[in-house]
Each structure stands twice: as structure tokens, then as C-alpha cells.
Chains A and B, each alone.
Chain A
Amino acid sequence: QVQLVQSGAEVKTSGASVKVSCKASGYTFINYYIHWVRQAPGQGLEWMGTINTGGGSTTYAQKIQGRVTLTRDTSTSTVYMDLSSLRSEDTAVYYCARGRWVAESSGFYFDYWGQGTLVTVSS
């Protein structure tokens, strides 16, 4: 069965960086993009970016571009999300999700999600 398993909770201070991992199993890793979506406490869902797990190309949300980097390791079917210059407003649960590509729309929806990783940024 498809599974996305994320690394554990992190507590960071302002200005630091955090790296969260997402290990995929149960399907052919390079056939699906992986996306990252975050959710601040009590808030909605915010798309952060995506990585083509086959070729490695990335696309990021404009709001967070320059601070986020997605990478992948095809040998371990793992995607990494690196977020730098952390601020208090980055405190959130970070989810990885498998993107189901729709050619007609050139867009994605998300059929499997990781369990989430809480990142807490304290000053």
C-alpha cells in the first residue's frame, strides 16, 4: 500500500533552518511528483512547492521562494524539504503529499499524504 512517512517534530529558533524528510513506499517513486503543504495552527492549507521525483526539477510558491529547497534521493525514495531563515509564522504542520497529475489541466491534486511534521519556531 502507498505510504508517505515523515520525520519527527522539530523545535527551532528564529533564523535557523529545518529539514523534514518524506519517505515513500508502495509505488514507483519516480512516477509521481511529491508536494509540500503546510498548515499553521488553526488555519487552512497552504501549498509550498513540488518536486519532479524523476528529473529533480522543482516549483515553489512565490511567497516562500528563496527560503525553501526540495530535493530527492531516488535510491531511498525520499524527498527532503529544507526551509531556511525560519520565522515565528513558519510554525506549522508540514505535510508531504503525492500529486496525481492531470494532463488536461496541467495541475495536481493529492491522493496520499504523509502524517505531518510539526515545526515549531521560537524566538
Chain B
Amino acid sequence: DIQMTQSPSTLSASVGDRVTITCRASQSISSWLAWYQQKPGKAPKLLIYKASSLESGVPSRFSGSGSGTEFTLTLSSLQPDDFATYYCQQYNSLPGTFGQGTKVEIK
């Protein structure tokens, strides 16, 4: 199975900060990467697919980049609603493995 590693595990930031989360794959996955946001007690929500394509309805302050084995999720200006845990997921092959998550906390 392809292993996905996110960093950092936890990130403390303030409203208005620019935030970057990294996801690395154990082998090349081309651009077959999705990002999800999860809030406590809720299901994950799709933010980005194909590494950089924004899902409909997702604010433009979210952006994704990368290809091959290294990817980033960037929040250009952190909003109060963005404090959550973020997961990457590769879909280059089954099983579609997830990273371990990055929790974005209020500083």
C-alpha cells in the first residue's frame, strides 16, 4: 500500500495567518491526491481533488499544489471556521490511503 505522511501533526496559528500543510507519498502518485477537512464529530468534507482542483463551494482561500510525491495544502488567510483537522488521500491505487491528519489549532 502507498503510505501517506503529513506534516506537521499539529499546527498553531492565528486568524489571518497563511498556513501550509505538507503531504508526502511513499511513491509517485502523479496528481491523484485529495484533501479533506474534518471538524470534531463530523464527517470529512472534500476540499481539493487532483492535487489542485477546488471542489465546488469551497472558499478560494484554500489551494493545493504538488505532484509526484510531495504536495501542499495552503490556507491563504486562516478564518475562524478553518480550525479543524486536515487529511490528504491518494487515489493512485486501491486502497485509497489517507495521511494521519494535521490538526490546525488556535494560537
A-side residues, CB < 8 A to B, are: 35, 44-47, 50, 59, 61, 95, 97, 100, 102, 105-111, 113-116
Nearest Cβ on chain B to A118's Cβ, whole angstroms: 10
Q: What are 17 A-B interface contacts by the 8 Å CB criterion?
A: A44-B98, A45-B98, A45-B101, A47-B95, A59-B94, A95-B43, A100-B49, A102-B32, A105-B93, A107-B92, A107-B93, A109-B46, A109-B49, A110-B34, A110-B46, A110-B89, A116-B43
- Residue from A47, A95, A109 having most chain B Cβ neighbours under 10 A: A109
Asked if B92 and A44 sit within 8 Å, CB to CB, the answer is: no
The answer on a CB contact under 8 Å between A113 and B44 is yes
Residue of A nearest to B46 (CB): A111
- Find the A residue at minimum CB distance from B56: A111
- Residues of B near A47 (CB, < 8 A) are 95-98
Q: Is the interface of A mostly helix, strand, loop or mixed?
A: strand
Minimum Cβ distance to chain A for residue B29 (Å): 8
| Cross-interface CB contact of B44 among A45, A61, A107, cutoff 8 Å | A45
Least distance between B63 CB and chain A CB atoms (Å):
17
Instruction: With A106-B93, A109-B49 given, name 7 new contacts (CB 8 A).
Output: A47-B98, A102-B50, A105-B32, A109-B34, A109-B91, A113-B44, A113-B45
In the bound complex, do residue A61 and residue B95 qualify as a contact, i.e. CB atoms below 8 Å apart? yes
Separation of A75 and B89 alpha carbons in the complex (Å): 32
Q: Does B62 contact A (CB under 8 A)?
A: no
Do A107 and B91 contact each other (CB < 8 Å), given the known contacts A100-B49, A102-B32, A114-B43?
A: yes
Residues of A within 8 A of B92 (CB): 105, 107
Contacts of A97 in B (CB 8 A): 43
Partner of A113, one of B43, B94, B95: B43
Chain A hits for B71, CB < 8 A:
none
A25: shortest Cβ distance to chain B, in Å? Answer: 16
Residues of chain B contacted by A45 (CB below 8 angstroms): 44, 87, 89, 98, 101
Are the C-beta atoms of A107 and B96 separated by less than 8 Å? yes
